Amino acid sequence: MTQDEKITDIEGWCIEHRITEVECLVPDISGIARGKILPTEKFLKGLKADSHRMPESMFTQTVTGDFPETDGLVSVVDRDVVMRPDPATIRPVPWYEEPTAQVICDCFYTDGDAVEISSRHVLREVLALYENKGWKPVVAPEVEMYLVQKNIDPDYPLAPPVGRSGRQETGRQAFGIDAANEFDAVFEDVYDYCDAERIDIDTLNHEGGAAQMEVNFLHGEALDLADQVFLFKRTLRQTAINHDVYATFMAKPMQQESGSALHIHQSLYDIESGNNVFSDEAGQNTTLFLSYLAGLQTYAPLMMPLFAPNVNSYRRFTYEEAPINTHWGVDNRSCGLRIPRSEPSARRIENRLPGADVNPYLAIAGTLACGYLGMIENLAPTEEEKGNAYILPKHLPTHLSDALKRFEQNESVRGVLGDRFVDLYCIVKREEQITYDQVISSWEREHLLLNV
């Protein structure tokens, strides 16, 4: 589709839906929505002039809003980049009264080159590697999250919200139907909003933590599912606020509760035949399947900055129900890599390492990159783990700083993700680590103030 055809499609959609305002969204390096909000007339006029712009430095912004120094390490000139909306992503914003659209944009330099430090571009590049081999990945994310009381003062710990019974949850209600129904009003709106936004969420269930929920997505193309997860996070947060509570995707928001994950199911199909290449005609695992699995075992520990991108992320791995290694097993949830029981046509691998706090584009890109490297390097996996992998040695990094060292030093990782992206990502995350290290916590005030 040419740029003119894209503009025509977007213009027709806005007219058909009588849109008065448009939100142009760009996922930043942490998966936070950045961009601009414009009246529809100005938005369409800017499309034709290719004049919707923002500074390249937006891609260096940390979660705290800081801009780390990059000169001498990564060349980031504070020049304009052009935002070009992807017409496949235009959707209504259903929680507004005024007819408003949201559209995800790809970013380009003024010479037409793609901005290679954009997380959406990183995923596109990994998918291009697969396409060149005649393969098509299919993914299905599972996203966990907490509903919590409004936390106006960040010095106070989070607490479960009051449900429709008028009480807070005090115990763990994994898969509890009545416990999930405590928040029917929130999730009825979420399902309505997601339907309007073409976000294909499937099942909802209560997870192990107090007011912790999980939403499963229908399987589909990797870029589309990353877009859907990106939009879903925004949708749930906004819906929760409308119901006077917060929704959080922090990996470990409460000390005594389990963490929140974003598990990624992935399978691989031959583009020409449409067959699942993870399984042969007899239903047995193929060599490609085993090499893909071995790639995840080998490279997932190196990709942890994409699966656990924040200082808080590593707290999740201290809890008994989070994976601590990359062993694999058939229907074994104690393993970091689980093979669900399925028909041969649906043979897939579940990567259980990523937390809910990930940038979905980078988490999906990272897990697909691991599998790709395993296949092109003809790696072989370990034997299946049939016991409890939680009691086996941990071989994942313990802290963000450790993870970044492994990530930036591996040439294979750099080869699939790009040197400039890897270097910049490490700069941004180290800046966040420095900011975090300067914080004096309540634990320090409680235990050190009068005792040492």
Backbone angles phi, psi at 140, to 5 degrees: -145, 105
Alpha helix ranges (H) inside 300-340: 304-307
Question: What is the predicted pLDDT for the residue at 288?
Answer: 98
Write the DSSP string, 244-264.
T-EEE--SS-STTS---BEEE
Architecture of domain 127-410: 2-Layer Sandwich (3.30)
Q: Which residue has the tokens 């104690």?
A: 334
In whole angstroms, what is the distance from residue 225 CA to residue 218 CA? 9
Handedness of CA 218, 219, 220, 221 (dihedral sign): positive
Predicted TM-score of the model (pTM): 0.97
Q: Which residues are CB-contacts of 82 (< 8 A; sequence separation ≥ 6)?
A: 50, 51, 52, 53, 107, 108, 109, 110
Kindly list the averaged pLDDT for each block of 10 residues, start to end, along the chain of length 452: 88 96 98 97 95 93 90 74 97 97 96 95 98 98 97 92 91 87 96 97 93 96 98 98 98 93 98 96 94 98 98 88 94 96 94 98 98 98 95 93 97 97 96 95 93 95
Residue 50, sorted as left (phi over 0), alpha (psi -120 to 50) or beta, turns out to be left
List beta partners, residue 265. 140, 350
- How are beta strands 91-92 and 100-108 bridged, if at all? antiparallel
The domain spans of the chain are: 3-115, 127-410
Q: Check residue 300 and report its DSSP letter.
A: T
Pairing label, strands 135-148, 100-108: unpaired
At 72 the pLDDT is 65
Taken in order 344, 345, 349, 355, is the CA torsion positive or negative? Answer: negative
Q: Are 13 and 93 in contact (CB under 8 A)?
A: no
pLDDT in tens, 14-69: 999 999 999 999 999 999 999 999 999 999 999 999 999 999 999 999 999 999 98
Query: Distance between CA 294 and CA 53 in Å, rounded?
Result: 42
Superfamily of domain 3-115: Glutamine synthetase, N-terminal domain (3.10.20.70)
CA distance 203 to 217: 8
pLDDT at residue number 377: 98
Q: In whole angstroms, give the CA distance from residue 387 to residue 316.
A: 22
Given this model, what pLDDT does residue 165 score?
A: 93
Assess contact for 432 and 311: CB atoms under 8 A. yes
Q: What's the confidence (pLDDT) of residue 158? A: 94
For the chain, the 3-state helix, strand and coil shares in percent, each to the nearest 5, are 40, 20, 40
Q: Alpha-carbon torsion 432, 438, 442, 444, what sign?
A: positive
Quick: pLDDT tens for 51-60. 999 999 999 9
Q: What's the token pair of residue 153?
A: 């003062």
The DSSP line for 104-169 is EEEEE-TTS-B-TTSHHHHHHHHHHHHHHTTEEEEEEEEEEEEEE---SSTTSPP-PPB-TTS-B-
> Cα-atom radius of gyration of the chain, to the nearest Å?
22
Tens digit of each residue's pLDDT (9 = 90 or more) over 127-155: 999 999 999 999 999 999 999 999 999 98
